[in-house]
Structure 1
Amino acid sequence: MKRMAMTLDEFTRSVDAKSLPRVLQMQSGYYFQGSVYELYGREGSFSCGELLNIIGISVTRLIVELQSEGSKSITVDLSLDYPGLFRIVADKRPYTSIQEIVDSVRISPECLGQPEFYCPEKLQLPEGTIQAEESFRLTAIRTEHGDSHVDCEVTRKDSKHIFTVKLSHTGEFYECADDQFYTLGELVEWKMHKGRKRTVTWAKSLPSKEKCVSELPEDYSGELVLTPVYELQTVSKFGKNVVFIPSTLDVEVLDVTEECDGACFMQPLSFRDVFAKPIEFFPFKAEVIEPPSQVQEELGFLKSSKQVIVHSAYQAKRILASEIRSEAQRRFLIPVSYNGRFKRRPRTFPTAYDLEVAKSNMEQLHVVATRAFETHYEGLSSVLVGDQYLVHKMETSEVIYGDKRKTVEALACEKMVGKKYEAVLIPMCLDGGFVEVVHDKKQYMLSDLCHRFSLPFNVKVSMRDLSVKEDLLAGAAGLQLEEEITDPYLIVSTLDLAQCWEVPVNRTKMALQLLERWNGPKLTQGEAVRSPVEEIGEDCYFTLRRYVNASVLPPPRPPKRHQKHSEDTVKLPPPRPKKLDPPSPKSPHAANKAEQAVPTSRTSSCAEQNTPPPRNETSKTSLVTVTDSGPQKATGEENSPRHKTIKQDDDDTKDYEHIDEDELASIRRKLNELSIHGKRKTINTYAMQTAKQV
């Protein structure tokens, strides 16, 4: 059967990316005589009959149509790195079969590649029934005994059920509503359905250091219709360069893949292609075909080297961290091998639930209240600004609320009243605020922090990493270590092994040509391999946090302000969600995509280890009486932790930052000026300012 020529744009929109590379022959179109003229890396013309090997198809930008009621729609161009977040509007057009869904959407083991659909009617399947309008997630495509089918996952009452649906199954299937945030890059990679435009709404603008070429109107709140603009990565016969051509080039092409020997074309590999290779593929020598356009200073050898050695591929651990400041926060990925030293900084806690999450067996959590709260439960304690607490554990307690006995969850604490301690219960979801009092003056390695304490955790660099020319973290006033993640990396070195670094796969765009196997020493993670600290953008930060927080429930919302109520309007605090285990790391050679919500809660991926608690150093000048840090038990009255004193040095070692005794004295002084305890609640504004300064 004779195949028909098609336009380059028709080929681009119809080809399955999984079938690449494909060999095309130029048939007709507007072109100059001769072969392959290159203009700024983009193709200008072709000769008739010329062969091109299509090795990749990518979206270069998006044409965005703004839909406004009562006015003419306008269009703007957006680059894929536009610093904004978007919500998807569910496609109202139905799919008529599972096969059509599979052909249109991207399905993969990564959670962003597992779309959700529903059917208005029941689906009778061998494993059971999917109810009408019950959502199901497509998780994988499999072929067994010549039959292709898709694995579907349904969640019912916190349990998952797996169903198998044949691709030939027909019916009406609709895309489920999606309330998550996505960057434009994520939309292009995961959520653009083939042959369909994607409608989204603008959710949030992210700060960007670089000025955008085009921006959406600030006051625009309508729908945006996205149309991708494609570009093809091609290699000509016997050519040694990757050439990019727009899909809209006015030429006709014929797919001659079956008749042409693809071995005569160069086979460039992206970093993602290299990472997907089996372990036996490494190490190898490669030629740099397309160097990265942007790369941090430590990895500059990737731009200047003609040839490199790729030693291995694996998932490496990184600590996701944010600079502690109200505006223009910087975000970092810190390797666990970072050689700098950290000192602790105080954490802030908006609710008692956060205190319960943050408490540790390694030391006693000591906090000071920065906001007042008056409880309406008889049996639970109110909180005043400046009150100090030693946090113990959550308890279930019977209280009187509206002349009725209720069972609620509360946090058991010891309130510090002068030199005495009073056992109290405070509401789990009180609408207040607390700041940690830090007595620990030790300097820690990053790996020690992750083993001894739960993340998130606040620190500052007390001694910079002397192994690098410029330490990105040293200039930060404070850092919040938020999550431990795993991300794909390649170990890449120069031919003489003088430069050998871990290079991120997902944030390095370059192409390599395999030359030969490397028979020299095979390097793995160790002293010879260096790991840079990466400064990442806001979009990358939100993406990484979304993957880590996929399976973690947010904390309960604080109760609304109390109003006059009767027995009929009694409302208890929402129940505390169950603690979930952090998502397990992916296996090597699998992308670290865990999904899906922009993070709304703080979680920890660094598990607490059964290591001895840090010893606390004693100081010279007594300022406040508290318990010792660490899980110690009193052996006698004179050794009781309630009678021990935490002191502060007068020397230069007091540069560790915390809400220290001076801060507490300032709060007490403010309280004494008001003199009447009943007026303590009027200084909430002062306390909030104090918390922000800390």
Structure 2
Amino acid sequence: MEGETGLPLQQLIASFDNKCLPKILQVISGVYFQGSIYELSGSEVCFCTGDLIKVINMELQSVCCEYISNKEAFELPISHTGLYKVVPEEMPYSTIEEMVSLRPVGLDSCLPFTFTSRSKMTLDNFTLAAGRELTVLSVEKDQVRCHVRGEQDVSAEVCIPLSFRGEFYECESEECFTLGEIMSSACLRSRKFRTTKCERPLILSPIYQVHAIMNLRKNVFKFSSSSEVDVIDVTEQCKDVAFVTPFSLTEVLSQPDESFPVVVEVLEYPQADSVFTCSWLPELSKSKHLVFHKKGTSDWILFSSLKSRKVQQYFLVSQQYGGRFRRRPREFNSVYELYVASVQAPGLRLSVTRSCEEVEEEGLPALTVGEQLEVMHCDTMELPCGSSKEQKQSVEALICHRLQEPDEGDDDDDDDDDDKRVQQKDKIEVISLPLYMQAHFMEVLSDNKKYRLRDLDKEFSFPLDVKIVNRDNEMETDPLVGHTCLKIEGAISEPIIQASFPHRPDHCFKIPTQWLSMSVSFTNDPLPWPSDQPPDCHVDRVTEVTDTFFYEYHKRGNSDAAPPPRPPKRNLSSSDTSRKSFKPPKKPTKADKSKLRQDESITTTDFANLTINRKKRPPAPPPPVIFEDQPPPLAPRKHSIDVTTSKALPNMYVKREVSIKTAVADVDSDHDYETVDDSLLTMMQESQNNVKFY
């Protein structure tokens, strides 16, 4: 590479467009990107001398504007709305051919343009004065066809040979361009411009975000075209250089069927917050090899477990699942839920699980636990509105038949069966349930049949509550077993890639391409089986997913679903006096609290006989008999102490006399003291005279 002179990366990239890609560039003078070798967006971005860069895509990010006079530069977004005029070149052209040949690439897109001549021009019998403006309309084989505007708005067309000599100057055009228009034309990008408000000429250069791969890298990296690197175009010389091409899962789907099966290498693996919790996902890592067997579309059924479990689980189950299911009755907590279910499955029969009182003004009928209803259709019902009985409002309601229980009778008597059926039909009561009504029902099922999953999908509408009664015997472990109830949320069809690990090529799993973000590269490694003996693949039929997948699924399917209806305004007529007369209890005032304390007060004597638990104090023990002329007996010394039976003896050596002064209440005092009863004082004195202080 000695002696080769490269171009700045910014200049060379500006001459490319996406139609000519890919291009292979070689670094002639490499420097670290922005003076750093640290990672940007997860990949190290630096260029060294001799590196090969394969440019596969470019995205226009902004425009670099540089003043010619002082080299001052700044960036503008591509959406900038300012207008720019083309600045004509200052140097003169000696021939028409030279002026045309030095025009930017893509001459046709730059026509028409205007020029003048400093000298008189004589063309056959036609003479043009100096300084006359000529507009080039087209370039033909050996001449240009020009338009000339003369005096008094007289115009004509003349043909000038390309070899005609003179001193020609380009004129300024009145046409204005936006940054988007300038950047979209290779012809305009090479010209000088000025704004409509400033005469200083500018050079406009596009700044791209370049998507490229390198022969020593295994993933696509992005960098700015403004990086200070000198490069040369070596596309023709390096056609045979093998670059690792990364593919996203979506791009893998676009590959022809003949490309499979193939061994691939993982370049970027899914993040930890994936929507899948399957066993094969943690094994995916960078540089891990996989076998892609084939691509296609898979039909799944989305299951969810009961919400009452500690952790609610969600599963994607293939329709090839071999287990058996039995239907379970569904529970409904509102009439609107009944309506949605009845639209999908007409003829729904229900049992009331919670009683409801009748509210006539709101159209709510009375329901009793155990009653059975049959949903018929949806209709409207009239409710009173306002104080006037004549005012009505219409609300949507579910029309149901209240089914009566059959009368008990002799089972052997079949003569009157027809009459009984007629009587039962006469007993059917029609009731209307407003859609906003909150009630509790359970589905009544007479079906005890076992179903395969594909049969449930054909015969019933989802959602559906089921219980698994037979596991799939072809699976090592069936995660659906052990759940008392599973809810089928709906069906889903997704593009997939059937894959396996090379050490277990027969144990396959399906990768939903729209739910995982990862990139791989195709390798030339041989398949892990003999060419004439492909493995008998066993595909996972149950894949556990997270609640994120569940919510995204419902967000996609129910984005336009209407919300449940709101209940009508309550009838605030004068007849409803019970609601108007109700007043919340007032907070007690200080006077009320004082009165309450006086009412709950007790006498002083009773208070003295009460303990902290408001129970009567037990009677005091009799005083010990002590003779004044004898000393108190000495307690024998104990050499060992029994903790369970020992008690501390009172100290008998201290004898004190306590005098109690009677407190007389001062009638004239402002303080409100309670007076002590004389009998209470007498009792307190007698008891304290008999107490010894130790």
Relative to the length of structure 1, the TM-score reads: 0.45
**RCO (CA 8 Å, sep 6+): is it higher in 1 or 2?**
1
* Pair member with larger Rg: 2
